[in-house]
Structure 1
């Protein structure tokens, strides 16, 4: 190839492309000045989107950036803290979850057992300890129970996970609106939380930590922020471990429902006499209503209050769709009532006394469920309670604080009724029949004459009632006086007791020997320190009503001592083996049968025409003795028929003197009213006594009652006149020599 002009063309390499060219730029741009290039490099390129606003600059921009930073920091801390709390909470729930036992192990958590007391007929009349009836499956209770509890205590029970934030917030709001602190009053606890509290959050009772079980339960019920937190965690662990129905079963077993009833099965039996599976809506509502305040709303304390509370629960059940309008109206029209046993609520004082007669590890401190078969007769118990109530209402002025006590027993010492004070529906109260030691006054005199009869004297022997003094070494002369301040002259022993003359009683006591009198009284069961001086005969020593009544039972039964008792048999529930038998009964002979029969006659004269005439029982023969202590601080009447012995004491707890009351007054009225009711429907039987026969030429005493007596076979017989006259003459001569000649004049 040739070039123009014949010259060979110069070969040149192509120019190396620049960066702009390599990116696809084909046109060569003119070079820019150095200053423009530097400015272009200093200013960063900004990509602007269509519609975008510029970030504010200055203080506003700075403030917005600061707020964004703070919010971001807060959010970061919050979710991190929440994660930590969640992990800790989950760990705590797992910790309690691992410790929870099978739910059946939590059904019965009692540290004490129950004591069920049966009357002489085998019917339940009282309960002590913690009554309990196990529920192991929700189907063992009536659906009405389940619905009533859920409607009353936690309507969202089947929906929450153990705690209810809405319930807590509502409770705090109510507490604050009522002027209390946030944690005082309403707690907002779910049923699961309540169950956790009943379980004391898994902390078992330890006698070395808490002095009593009550102190343990009080500690479990304390409300603090930390305990509420722990309670919530424990509740969530329970929700994870157990089903809803299992939690409810634990609650139904553990809840206290008043009157010593622990759990709904025990309460159903206690109040209504039916199992929990048979409770109707009204009964279930009444039991659910007790959860708020078991003692206050217990139907045995106030049935009307319990029924009003049940009406509220019925309304809740209807509002939440558990019952129909017809069921609601039926429950309102026919509210639940108590069973016969619960309604009578008898034996408060008696039950406490019987519990004390058994060993504590089988009664008050028992960890087993125990049955006590007792001697109480509920008919007689009601008779005694009614008699006291009627006499006090009709014959005492309103506001009087005088007290009284009654004991009724059989001749062998089996106590059939016991009233320890005017308030009869009590438990654990001061029992004036067994605990109050009071001077016995003239009710002690039968033991003085028992000593004389046992030495061979008869009721027709005589003693002189006259001014009389006896020197007591170290104290000077002791000069007893009669209540009337009069002197009767020579009187028979029968008349001396009949008129309750003091001087003849002291004379006879001195003649037969104080030691003999003290020995006879002690062996008849007066287990107290007896006076050593001559005032012994006038009852200056102290005794309890149950002891005195038991001593009189010894006179009725022919002279044998008795130990008053109320327990026939003790055994564990569900077992047939007897662990403890009868706690008392007949003892040794104290005086001869003849002496006892004469003494019964003398005491019958007290009621027929003496100081105890207000105690007459119409055609039914009765015997007894009045007693009034110095300044009338105590008034007694103790007596018996052929069937029962009864004792009545009356006085003030602080020893204030009674106004216008003697043993032959109000105590005799109470005794009469009691015995009339006790003997309703009981055939009339003669007293076991011998009417003394007067010596030849002397008129026999007049007695209007039945004069037959019982021989060793129980058949009626007449006193042999010749034998009676012979013994009476002998006794008359002996007593005339000893008493008439020795103490017929003033010392």
Structure 2
């Protein structure tokens, strides 16, 4: 038993249950201590009550803001996603977006089939990121959006950088640099999918200005459209759209058109320097166009080369090589020949096929670039060497064949122009004595002869409504009996007036009009002295009628007009030879008389070595206009000189600078051309005053060899039997 009790005493199970051991003080103390710890009061906050209230309020505000922002962001994301999704469904195939022109282009070819000018909106053909030169592709990315292949259509980093730059430059955050990605720029070029509608917009210019708006609302739409494009198209497809639609100056839309326009090659063939120049145009196409300022364009290309180098697209050596050998214009682009001529031809066809065409049109013209260059060089030479520095005087030149085909046209001293005032076709000026050949043409056709004699003596005519009028010669002298040849050679005024009155002013007007002088001609005898106004083109065309044997011509420059890619002309030549005005015999006599003007008369400065030249000078009252009109057997050329505001010329007459411009022009034109003899009579001796009884006195017709009735009868018989006109 005792062993059993001892064994029980060693058991420790009882100790597990501390609650049953009532005599143990320590557990009680522990319970008391534990109880007191649980009941210990919370430590009071040391912060003032106001601070605690403020902190709590701020926490509540932040919690509310977080809820609002998170919910708003969710709503915005939902709206953005829906908007992007909707626009995604409206985007057409990429091929439908490559040519976005509202107007077509006009390509002008010279008489040899070479391009010399462009008008309208040029589009060289569709290109893609895969077909263009890799240098061009890299230049565009380096210049416009170096993160193009990394972003999703919008670049937050780019926007933040643009805002920083704008603020640092003192502008508003959204003014100036926009931080637009290439995708956003493409969206803008597409006008966010809104096509041009002529019924809704005042003009295409107004439509394009609206597309370029930089408002916040517009920017938000642009972002949505750009993200939709990123979802719909690949990066290279977006780049292809951009490369085809970007405007690059000089009427070139797209990089293919620009490469052809400036370098005469495809965008697939441009080298590093040319690629840099093309990419540099994107910033300001008109300012940096190489046809406007090649040096400025090359400097801009240097910046693009630096960007390409910094971004690893080209090596240091390639950059140095491209900078040392910058891009140059093609020969055609450098010449920019025939700007005045091109503008004139554009008005020859219907507007819907020229100025307002929606198709791509090709016009074959009569322009000869060799002759055009000759005229431009001649004008430049005279003004640089024989006109005082700072002079505002202007000049114009027209060269044409005897059938009216215009070979060259210069409408002013500024040569490389488009849309400028054309003094050859638009300026109406008095021709002065350059009109006299039409008086003599009428007289010769009505029975007078090159050797007929007329009196150069004091003359006073009573002009109805104006009173007496007394014409004077340029030298203020009278020369007595003179032949018609001498009267024209020395440009005497009184014989010309007497002759016009004798043959009839109406007949003179008829001859001039039939030769192509379309302006309103003076009614009085001052008509004989060139008191009416005319254009240089009209006068040159009229002189062409004299050269070709007396048939009228209509000056023309357009030979045919066709759609690009189609060889069937839509319209053909509108001009050329017309009806006969004077007989071939009369024309041959008149050419002989005008030949004497150049040989030993007022037009001596127009002489060409070894080449027969016929012509006539012209100077108006107070020398406000000075002319020289003349021709060889091959070409007719007219020169006008004066001030746009009718200021009198100082020391200039038709026999001076205009004759020298004509000489410089035609000496270049005839270089290398086998000279032909003029189609004129060739008397055995110059005409002289041999018989004073055969003199026209005071306007009578004593100098005629046949009378008007005989001449009319001769023409009638010739028309019937084929021996006349």
Q: How does the TM-score come out when normalised to structure 2? A: 0.90
1:361 aligns with 2:352: yes
* Counterparts of residues 304-703 of structure 1 (less than 5 Å): 304-692=295-683, 700-701=686-687
Equivalent position to 1:247, from 227, 238, 246: 238
Q: 1:563 to 1:44 in 2, by over 3 A?
A: farther
Q: Find the counterpart in structure 2 of residue 275 from structure 1.
A: 266
Other-structure match for 1:35: none
C-alpha deviations, 1:512-531, integer Å up to 9, x for none? 11111100000000011111
User: Structure 1's 47 and 323: CA in aligned 2 closer, same or farther, altered over 3 A?
Assistant: farther
State the Cα deviation string for residues 567-600 of structure 1 (Å, max 9, x = none): 1111000011111111210000000000000000
Secondary structure of 1:68's aligned partner: helix
2:664 is the alignment partner of 1:739: no
How far apart, in 2, do the equivalents of 1:100 and 1:585 lie?
52
After superposition, the C-alpha distances for 1:206-230 in whole angstroms (9 at most, x for unaligned) are 2122222112111211211111111
Distance 1:411 1:742, change over 3 A: closer
Distance 1:441 1:561 in 2: 21
The answer (yes or no) to whether the contact 2:613–2:630 under 8 Å persists in 1 is yes
- Segments of 5+ residues of structure 2 without an aligned counterpart are 1-16, 23-34, 705-725
Aligned-pair RMSD on alpha carbons? 2.5
Cα distance in 2 for partners of 1:502, 1:294 equals: 56
Partner of 2:32 in structure 1?
A: none
User: Partner of 2:10 in structure 1?
Assistant: none
Aligned position for 2:151: 160
- Measured after TM superposition, the shift of residue 44 of structure 1 is 14
1:81 aligns to 2:72 (yes or no): yes
CA distance in 2, matches of 1:380, 1:741: 45
**How far off is 1:171 after superposition?**
1.2
Q: 1:732 to 1:554 in 2, by over 3 A?
A: farther
What SS does the corresponding residue of 2:130 show, helix, strand or coil?
Answer: helix
Matched, 1:65 2:56: yes
Tell me which residue corresponds to 2:122. Answer: 131
**Does residue 187 of the first structure (1) align with residue 178 of the second (2)?**
yes
* Alignment correspondent of 2:194: 203
Kindly state the Cα deviation for residue 741 of structure 1 after the two structures are TM-superposed: 5.7
The SS at the match of 2:700 is helix
Deviation (angstroms), 1:184: 2.1
After superposition, the Cα gap between the structure-2 partners of 1:535 and 1:56, relative to the gap in structure 1 and judged at 3 Å, is same
Cross-structure match for 1:17: none
Q: Determine the C-alpha separation between the residues in 1 that align with 2:620 and 2:171.
A: 56
In structure 1, runs of 5+ residues without a counterpart are 1-23, 30-42, 694-698, 703-727
Partners in 2 of 1:255 and 1:700 — Cα distance?
69
Matched-pair contact (CA < 8 Å) for 2:448–2:703: no
Whether 1:236 and 2:227 are equivalent positions in the alignment is: yes
Shift in alpha-carbon separation, 1:28–1:394, aligned structure 2, 3 A: same
Per the alignment, residue 303 of structure 1 pairs with: 294
Q: Conserved in 2, the CA contact under 8 Å of 1:461 and 1:731?
A: no
2 CA distance for matches of 1:485 and 1:734? 22
Question: Aligned in 2, Cα 1:553/1:53: closer, same or farther, shift over 3 Å?
Answer: farther
- CA distance in structure 2 between the aligned counterparts of 1:592 and 1:76, rounded to whole angstroms: 101
Quick one: structure 1 residues 56 and 97, their matched pair in 2 at CA, closer, same or farther if it must change by over 3 Å? Answer: farther
Give me the whole-angstrom Cα distance separating, in 2, the residues matched to 1:636 and 1:48. Answer: 121
Q: 1:528 to 1:149 in 2, by over 3 A?
A: same
Measure the CA separation in 2 of the matches of 1:374 and 1:408.
14
Residues 742 and 533 of structure 1, relative CA distance in 2, 3 Å threshold? farther
Distance change >3 Å, CA 61–CA 185, structure 1 → 2: closer
| Secondary structure, counterpart of 1:588 in structure 2 | strand
* Equivalent position of 1:12 in the other structure: none
Q: Which residue of 1 aligns with 2:212?
A: 221
CA distance in 2, matches of 1:300, 1:53: 85
Counterparts in 2 of 1:108 and 1:536: CA distance versus 1, 3 Å: same
Question: Is 1:284 aligned to residue 275 of structure 2?
Answer: yes
CA shift, 1:456, in A, is 2.5
Asked if the contact 1:131/1:266 (under 8 Å) is kept, the reply is yes
Partners of 1:493 and 1:451 in 2: CA distance? 13
Q: Deviations over 1:130-178 (max 9, x none)?
A: 1102324321211111100000000000011111111111112212222
Give the length in aligned residue pairs.
Answer: 676
